[in-house]
Amino acid sequence: MNSTDIIYRATACGEQFRIFAVDSTKTVQTTRDLHDLSPLATVMIGRLISATAMMGIELKSPKSNVSINLNCDGPLHGAIVVYEHGGFIRAYAKNPSLFFDEVADNYLLAKHIGTGTLTIIRDIGTGTPFNGISEIVSGEIGEDIANYYLQSEQIPTAVSLGVLFDNNAKVRASGGYIIQQMPHADPKLADQIIDNINKTPHITDLMDMGYSIIDILDKFVLKDLDWNVTKEQSIEFRCNCSKDRFEKALITLGYAELNEMKEGISPVCSYCNQEYKFDTADMEHLLSLFES
């Protein structure tokens, strides 16, 4: 197993297919620990982290980022994951502690996501983000990401995502891959890859057996095909919050609302649970900005 989490970008069969793959185990474990996620929330957030990371490896500008916002009517409510250029991920679940007395219910992700939408926001650093929205078609997230690519970008896509954890909430494996068929691809090669995917055991089972992501692609998903890695990027959980960012956000509330908080407040970052204290002096300073 890698000492750090890594995303890979690759091509196959003379660039007829584009491949993304990721080992996100440590990043998902960090997220689970920060938010004390339930098993269901861990699976949801883990799959979304893997998907967002694979989308993010295409970013070029240091100021760019991509995010996935899952909104759903099921009791999980959804989650938000953000990938910043350079491999930095932050995430939170909207109902992090959801747990059911019936053990089996804690593994039925689609049932507790229900219906809703996936919103993918790409900011390539120009200040004008691109938003794409697609309906949730299964609630398993992998199929929903594949549907997004087909509906929003007209790219036939196969997606596999997984999270495996033990009874002590330790994430044993988390990762995934995305295979995209380019317009000029040979249909026979596409059929071969589909056949390979159908014969491939679940990705996190293979990871738990000791296979690396590269092994899984080479020995299973892209078996007997020519392919090569074109880029790799380490990833980790890192939030970009700060007291200065919270201060700027508070100023947007306006004088009247800030004045109601003049005794002090302690906002908490949704992504990393860091608390920032604004005492009476801090609030007086913010209020004074409206007097100048």
CATH of residue 47: 3.55.30.10
Residue 166 · residue 208 · CB < 8 Å: no
Classify burial at 105, counting beta carbons within 10 Å of its beta carbon; exposed 0-12, middle 13-18, buried 19 or more. Answer: middle
Which CB contacts under 8 angstroms, 24+ apart, belong to 280-285? 282/247, 283/258
Q: For residue range 134-177, what is the model confidence (pLDDT) as tens digits?
A: 999 999 999 999 999 999 989 999 999 999 998 888 999 999 99
- Percentages of the chain per state (helix, strand, coil), in multiples of 5: 35, 30, 35
Q: Is the pLDDT of residue 2 over 80?
A: no
Q: What CATH number does the domain containing 249 carry?
A: 3.90.1280.10
Q: Give domain status of residue 272, yes or no.
A: yes
Amino acid, res. 4: T
Residue 41 · residue 76 · CB < 8 Å: yes
Q: For residue range 238-261, what is the model confidence (pLDDT) as tens digits?
A: 999 999 999 999 999 999 999 999
Residue-number span of the structural domain to which 50 is assigned: 6-237
- The residues facing 134 across adjacent strands are 118
Q: Is the pLDDT of residue 18 over 70?
A: yes
What pLDDT shows up at residue 292?
Answer: 62
Overall domain count for the chain: 2
- Same domain as 264, residue 125: no
Q: How far is CA 26 from CA 20, 159, 236, in A?
A: 18, 21, 8
Distance CA 13, CA 279 (A): 61
- Same domain as 283, residue 204: no
Q: The pTM is what? A: 0.94
- Same domain as 143, residue 226: yes
What pLDDT shows up at residue 177?
Answer: 98
Amino acid, res. 92: Y
pLDDT > 90: what percent of the chain?
A: 91
What pLDDT shows up at residue 128?
Answer: 85
- Same domain as 64, residue 208: yes
Return all residues near 54 (Cβ < 8 A) that are at least 6 apart: 7, 20, 21, 22, 176, 177, 178
Return all residues near 270 (Cβ < 8 A) that are at least 6 apart: 92
- Same domain as 94, residue 231: yes
- Same domain as 51, residue 186: yes
Q: Give domain status of residue 1, yes or no.
A: no
Q: Which single residue is written with the structure tokens 């309906």?
A: 135
- Same domain as 271, residue 134: no
> Where does the pLDDT of residue 202 fall: very low under 50, low under 70, confident under 90, or very high at 90 and above?
very high
Of 3-7, 143-147, 194-198, 216-220, minimum mean pLDDT range: 3-7
Q: Give domain status of residue 267, yes or no.
A: yes
Distance CA 284, CA 292 (A): 13
- What is the average per-residue pLDDT within 21-31? 97
